[in-house]
Chains A and B, each alone.
Chain A
Amino acid sequence: EDQVTQSPEALRLQEGESSSLNCSYTVSGLRGLFWYRQDPGKGPEFLFTLYSAGEEKEKERLKATLTKKESFLHITAPKPEDSATYLCAVQASVDNYGQNFVFGPGTRLSVLP
């Protein structure tokens, strides 16, 4: 069964304090790994797609990396506006419909000024 776990469950950082969020996955063939940001009361906002081990993507203060077992979302010098829940999702290459994402539980990030 495809599974996604994320750690830590919650993370509090001071503004400017860099850190990393982890997404570990078990999937029967990875089609893609996706990172989203979700603000309270809103739908998830797409950040990155990673398709193969070794791939990296960057956007402003965020950098996502991928290995065969996990992905990291590195946050460099975070600002209070980076506070949100970060969700990781994987899509397997072998399933009934080739459609479904399996979401992790998320990491709630709080960046204090």
Chain B
Amino acid sequence: GAVVSQHPSRVICKSGTSVKIECRSLDFQATTMFWYRQFPKQSLMLMATSNEGSKATYEQGVEKDKFLINHASLTLSTLTVTSAHPEDSSFYICSARGGLGGDYQPQHFGDGTRLSIL
């Protein structure tokens, strides 16, 4: 149980392109989804938290207009990197939490998206 699917797993695109990443909870309803960024050999850096039907809450230093987050349903959240530039290249990981126990539940992670901007 508690499977989170993230697509695509890898994206390579030109500078200036917008890229959309999908995160789906396959076997549970995710009341909250999280988006992280991870640099090589470093831990996860939280970018934003989103609750279904609400605006995402962004961490300090994360540009809202650059990283658009939509959490339209209890099983789907999307992250759109707008007008991506080489410095946006990174490993992006989503996680989801829900089900019985609410906020005491662990986060379950997708397998990440490797974004490379040329």
A contact set with B: CB distance below 8 Å: 31-32, 34, 36, 41-46, 49, 51, 87, 89, 91, 97-101, 103-106, 108
Contact = CB atoms under 8 A, between A and B. Distances in A.
Interface stretch (B11-19, B67-75, B78-86, B108-116): B108-116
Given A34-B106, A97-B57, 17 more contacts: A31-B103, A43-B95, A43-B109, A43-B110, A43-B111, A44-B95, A45-B109, A99-B32, A99-B49, A99-B97, A100-B49, A101-B34, A101-B107, A103-B43, A105-B42, A106-B43, A108-B41
Main secondary structure of the interface of B (DSSP, over half): strand
B117 interface: no
A44 B36 CA distance: 11
Contacts of B107: 34, 46, 89, 101
Interface in B83-108: 91, 93-95, 97, 103-104, 106-108
Nearest to A49: B106
B32 A87 contact: no
B106 A46 contact: yes
Contacts of A51: 104
A105 B109 contact: no
B44 interface: yes
B43 A43 contact: no
Contacts of A45: 109
Shortest beta-carbon contacts, A-B, top 5? A43-B109, A103-B43, A105-B43, A44-B109, A43-B111
